[in-house]
Amino acid sequence: MEPKRILRQTLICMLFLTCITGLHEEILSHVGPFLKMDQALVTVRNMLPEGVDVFYTSDYCYKCLNQPLVTLKSGYQNTSVVVSTHFVLTLQVESQETNTPLCRWSQLYEEAGHYSVWVQQSDSSSNATCSHTVDTSPQNAYLPLVVSALFLALLSLSCVTAPYCYRRRCTTKLIERMCLKGPQNSVDCGETQNGGAEAEAARPKQKRLRSLDTFRGFSLTAMVFVNYGGGGYWFFEHAPWNGLTVGDILMPWFVFIIGTSVVLAFSSMQRKGVTCVQLLRKLTWRTVVLMMIGFCFINYSPKDGPLSWSWLRVPGVLQRLSFTYFILSLMETFWGQREIPMRKNPWWKPVQDVVLYWPQWVFILLLETVWLCFTFLLPVPNCPIGYLGAGGIGDDGLYPNCTGGAAGYIDKWLLGHNIYRYPTCREMYRTTEPFDPEGVLGTINSVVLGFLGMQAGKILLFYKKMNVSILSRFLIWAIILGISTAILTKCTRDEGFIPVNKNLWSLSFVTCTGCFSFLLLGAMYFIMDIKGWWGGQPFIYPGMNSIFVYVGHSLLGSYFPFSWEMRFQQSHWERLFQGLWGTSLWILVAYLLYRKRFFLKI
């Protein structure tokens, strides 16, 4: 019996191996390589007797050259390739013999989907046709985001309704009667009510505008989430070049609120009698400390040591924020108003928050003129004057080494190669030149955006307790900036006079983000400071400890428990959970510091 059993097992193994060998190509054509998130598998099946080449380009890439995707030789060959699912792709099939296009199509491939493209001869004509089939249905890439949004919405609703239900518990007649029947219950309810009243009376009155701290904390919290990967979704990252994503508007919001805070803080200090010398000493010290923290932190690498000179980068986020703060503070120190003039009905009263600060406006207009002149008039070697493109394969590949135009040229001239070497356009536009999104020329417009934030602070200062005037002026500024953006961009992403571009901090980028800033600050001011519907939790906690949270998450963000090595790369679930988890931990840290009354100030 033993030899028969061995023979039977041998035959089964041989049959199994034969089946596997015969189905090997079919399995590969359907399964393909191991797909990660934001990837799809496309199998090109050439049914023509001649060889074909398949090229592709992303519709987000402005006037980009076609890039080779697949080459299939003659003889009815099949080839599978992984493509990105971020943007719409335009694919083109060309004949290897005549180099003429056979077919062309545009499609947004979806995550984890397996697609087949059949290149075959048309039955009715001699032309080739391309037909598409879906071999494996894609998965819903946005399901983790929807589930997370619903969970956070339910959590927020619970946090809002729970205190309300608790307060109502001892106000109903039934509970009051139960409390009166039992002495212990009566004492408990009385102690709770009296204790709450005493705590409320002992609590100091809020002098700060909660909307400012919440605005700052909201933008910082979203920035932390984006820096943790944003769940792997492309719209939480920075745009490849022109355009605007969620990740692009967060730092401008932070710059905007810096300007608002400078006006309110310096106005308060000037009214208290703080001298100009003291203000200069304070703003200089804070600028130097922030710049040194940013310089040392940006060049930190666990691999290379605390100061990794091998990849030294001079510009950075904190460097730009500190320089912007320095210029805005100087403007408010020398050209600010200690007291609001009390003249009766002057002609300029409706625009007094603009007219009284005319030296600041002159300085900002001169600063913006400098940006416009350098951007559109500075000759750049081997590049057209006024070039704002990404270079590389963009603009039909005519200017491959002109990334950023004058902005990139000035940074390389002043800073050499100590700038950011992996710009957001590198992957899509195939650029080889370094470009720093926090460069010198863009910092000018950072000051301009901060000045718009100062204008919001002046409105809050001049029209205090005149809520209708404050909200209406916020809305007017938002409309003016929105119309300016529409004119500069021609309501397009790439075809305007000055496209919206975060890498360049273009003028249209400043007007666009300034418009959103006025709208968001106005909405928060109405909800929190006028109506009192929301106290700003939980964003107000990181907003009151912004320096600690930003520096802390930047230094410790890659360590456990804020992040870990992910095991499931096929979907957004784990990456989104990791981003939300790390962000929530920093909110918790900020809340604990708030309870301890610890606020890191410089």
512 and 596 belong to one structural domain: no
Residues 64-117: pLDDT tens digits? 999 999 888 876 778 889 998 899 999 999 888 888 888 888 999 998 899 998
At residue 115's C-alpha, the angle toward residues 113 and 116, to 5°, is 165
530 and 542 belong to one structural domain: no
CATH of the domain at 74: 2.60.40.2890
Domain boundary among 513, 536, 559: 536
The pair of three-digit structure tokens given for residue 95, joined into one six-digit string: 């004949």
Distance (Å, whole) CA 86 – CA 567: 22
In which residue are the tokens 């007797």 written? 49
In which residue are the tokens 């719209």 written? 235
285 and 340 belong to one structural domain: yes
The pair of three-digit structure tokens given for residue 468, joined into one six-digit string: 């209708």
For residue 192, report the phi and psi dihedrals to the nearest 5 degrees.
-65, -45
Percentages of the chain per state (helix, strand, coil), in multiples of 5: 55, 10, 35
Residues 53-64: pLDDT tens digits? 899 999 899 999
Identify whether 7 is part of a domain.
Answer: no
Tell the burial category of 396 from Cβ atoms under 10 Å away from its Cβ (0-12, 13-18, 19+): exposed
82 and 223 belong to one structural domain: no
374 and 512 belong to one structural domain: yes
Domains: count for the chain: 3
**Residue 189 pLDDT:** 43
Q: How far from chain centre, in Å, is Cα 235?
A: 8
Tell the burial category of 164 from Cβ atoms under 10 Å away from its Cβ (0-12, 13-18, 19+): exposed
Which residues make Cβ contacts (< 8 Å) with residue 210, sequence separation at least 6?
Answer: 528, 529, 535, 536, 540
Task: Please give the helix or strand (H or E) that residue 121 lies within, else none.
Answer: strand 114-121
373 and 519 belong to one structural domain: yes
Identify whether 102 is part of a domain.
Answer: yes
Do the beta carbons of residue 415 and residue 315 sit within 8 Å?
yes
320 and 404 belong to one structural domain: yes
Identify whether 93 is part of a domain.
Answer: yes
In which residue are the tokens 């107000």 written? 540
Task: Please give the helix or strand (H or E) that residue 584 lies within, else none.
Answer: helix 573-595
Predicted TM-score (pTM) of this structure: 0.85
User: Which one-letter amino acid corresponds to residue 330?
Assistant: L
Q: Minimal CA–CA distance to 273: which of 328, 325, 339, 209?
A: 339
E strands present in 304-357 = none
DSSP state of 566: -
Residues of the chain where predicted confidence (pLDDT) is lower than 50? 1-33, 174-175, 178, 181-206, 301-303
Do the beta carbons of residue 314 and residue 419 sit within 8 Å?
yes
Q: Minimal CA–CA distance to 462: which of 450, 474, 449, 451?
A: 474
User: Dihedral, CA atoms, 359, 362, 364, 370, nearest 10 degrees?
Assistant: -140
> Coil, strand, or helix at residue 369?
helix
Identify whether 457 is part of a domain.
Answer: yes
306 and 267 belong to one structural domain: yes
Distance (Å, whole) CA 141 – CA 147: 11
Identify whether 186 is part of a domain.
Answer: no
452 and 566 belong to one structural domain: no
The pair of three-digit structure tokens given for residue 428, joined into one six-digit string: 């899509």
Identify whether 562 is part of a domain.
Answer: yes
573 and 448 belong to one structural domain: no
- What is the strand order of the sheet 101-107 is part of? 67-72, 52-58, 89-95, 101-107
425 and 468 belong to one structural domain: yes
List active site positions. 238
Distance (Å, whole) CA 439 – CA 102: 45
For residues 269-308, one letter each, b for 16 or more C-beta atoms within 10 angstroms of the residue's C-beta and e for the rest, the string is bbeeeeeeeebeebbeebbeebbebbbebbbeeeeeeeee
Taking CA atoms, 468 is separated from 156, 321, 459, 464, in Å, by: 29, 32, 11, 10
**Residue 337 pLDDT:** 67
482 and 541 belong to one structural domain: no
**Residue 199 pLDDT:** 42
Domain boundary among 516, 536, 556: 536
Q: Please count the CA atoms within 13 angstroms of the CA of 150 that sit on its side-chain side.
A: 6
Do the beta carbons of residue 197 and residue 559 sit within 8 Å?
no
Domain of 593 in residue numbering reads as 217-248+537-602
Q: Minimal CA–CA distance to 402: which of 393, 206, 321, 294?
A: 393
Identify whether 100 is part of a domain.
Answer: yes
Q: How far from chain centre, in Å, is Cα 519?
A: 18
DSSP state of 142: T
For residue 272, report the phi and psi dihedrals to the nearest 5 degrees.
-80, -5
Identify whether 172 is part of a domain.
Answer: no
Domain boundary among 536, 562, 594: 536
Distance (Å, whole) CA 439 – CA 323: 12
